[in-house]
């Protein structure tokens, strides 16, 4: 069933000020910034496509539909897309695409008949890398270092001792990594950079959700609940069905935030489309921080990512 398909009598929900609303997914979704390359076994050979701006290409999501605003927002500049199939065909059996993964999700970068990228607007940097060594670990700098946004260019971004990096891939003597922190960014650094695994005490300090991030996440879920009330009140007035209003009910502690979807929606897939996008949007809010956004069996959670 595709995202736009009507489910059990309730139309798909779309709000201009609230890109997507929550729902249900049977399997667990963990979008952890510290597991950026987790879709690949560490140390395996892999190909990547690094894209400065995802808006410069024609890209479909895992449902083979155009990206929503929330989905586009999850792509940082110079995002590394891991290539699964360089020349795949989508569900219509005709359209060619490069099948990739990013943050654990599947995307389709459309191709034209000549083998280039469909709808290529030009002017945006792209780099195709073959035979990389995929990585998925987090390191801490033990000496100042520098980061370059593009392969082979002079490093211009200064990194301080103690900063954290998620190492995504190794290509020759260079490493492509995600700089963690309030303003995360991807870039290149030498493989000879002085780094180490974070200490256990430092990792423990990272497990508490910062107050400002906690506030923003709660506001996002509260906004979804408000949109639910508005939508279902309107739906019930039009149809006279008297459907109950879905709501996320909070439950959490100092190290995690959790919400439980109200019955009966916690046991159905009626709102699956909107959950998917909500998780994606919240995952974008924790990029560059050691937290994961998960949805499973009716529960939405933001907690410390598993150590790597």
Q: What pLDDT is stored for residue 60 in this prediction?
A: 95
Average pLDDT over residues 166-182: 92
40-44, 62-66, 156-160, 232-236: least confidently modelled range: 40-44
pLDDT band (50, 70, 90) for residue 50 = very high
Predicted confidence at residue 187, as pLDDT, reads 97
DSSP designation for 194: -
- Token representation of residue 229: 């009330």
- Model confidence at 49: pLDDT above 90: yes
The CB density around residue 36, as the number of other CB atoms within 10 Å, is: 27
Across 71-97, average pLDDT: 93
Cα–Cα distance, 84 to 62 (Å, whole number):
13
Residue 30 has pLDDT above 70, yes or no: no
SS3 3: coil
- Give pLDDT tens digits for 193-211: 999 998 776 666 666 788 8
Range with the poorest average pLDDT among 171-180, 212-221, 274-283: 274-283
Mean pLDDT of 204-226: 85
Gap between the Cα atoms of 105 and 94, Å rounded = 22
**pLDDT tens-digit readout, 113-142:** 888 998 777 778 999 999 999 998 889 999
How would residue 42 be classed by pLDDT, with cut points 50, 70 and 90?
low
Q: Structural domain boundaries of the chain?
A: 206-304
The pTM (predicted TM-score) of the whole model is 0.70
Distance of CA 227 to the CA centre of its chain: 23
pLDDT for residue 36 is more than 70: no
Per the prediction, the chain carries an average pLDDT of 82
Binned at pLDDT 50, 70 and 90, residue 233 comes out as very high
Average pLDDT over residues 70-88: 91
Judge whether residue 37 has pLDDT over 50: no
Length of the chain: 308
What is the distance between the alpha carbons of residues 209 and 199, in angstroms, rounded to a whole number? 19
Tell me what pLDDT residue 139 has. 92
Please count the other Cβ atoms lying within 10 Å of the Cβ belonging to residue 152.
Answer: 8
Distance separating alpha carbons of residues 274 and 14, to the nearest angstrom: 8
């Amino acid at each position: 069933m595709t995202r736009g398909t009507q489910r059990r009598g309730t139309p798909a929900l779309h709000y201009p000020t609230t890109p997507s609303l929550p729902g249900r997914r049977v399997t667990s979704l963990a979008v952890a910034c510290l597991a950026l390359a987790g879709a690949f076994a560490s140390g395996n050979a892999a190909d990547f496509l690094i894209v400065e701006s995802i808006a410069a290409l024609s890209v479909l999501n895992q449902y083979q539909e155009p990206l929503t605003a929330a989905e586009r927002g999850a792509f940082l500049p110079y995002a590394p897309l891991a290539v699964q199939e360089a020349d795949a065909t989508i569900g219509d059996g005709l359209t060619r695409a490069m099948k990739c993964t990013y943050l654990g999700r599947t995307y389709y970068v459309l191709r034209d008949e000549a083998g280039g990228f469909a709808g290529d607007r030009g002017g945006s940097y792209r780099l195709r890398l073959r035979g990389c060594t995929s990585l998925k670990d987090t390191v801490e700098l033990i000496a100042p270092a520098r980061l370059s946004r593009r392969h082979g260019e002079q490093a211009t971004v200064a990194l301080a001792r103690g900063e954290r990096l998620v190492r995504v891939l190794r290509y020759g003597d260079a490493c492509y990594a995600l700089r963690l922190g309030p303003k995360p960014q991807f870039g290149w650094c030498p493989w000879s950079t002085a780094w180490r695994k974070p200490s256990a005490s430092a990792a423990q300090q990272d497990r508490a959700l910062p107050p400002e991030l906690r506030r923003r996440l709660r506001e996002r879920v509260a906004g979804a609940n408000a949109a639910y009330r508005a939508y279902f009140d309107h739906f019930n007035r039009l149809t006279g069905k008297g459907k109950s209003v879905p709501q996320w009910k909070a439950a959490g502690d100092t190290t995690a935030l959790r919400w439980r979807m109200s019955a009966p929606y916690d046991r159905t897939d009626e709102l699956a489309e909107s959950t998917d996008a909500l998780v994606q949007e919240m995952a974008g809010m924790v990029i560059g921080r050691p937290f994961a956004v998960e949805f499973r069996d009716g529960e939405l959670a933001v907690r410390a990512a598993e150590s790597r």
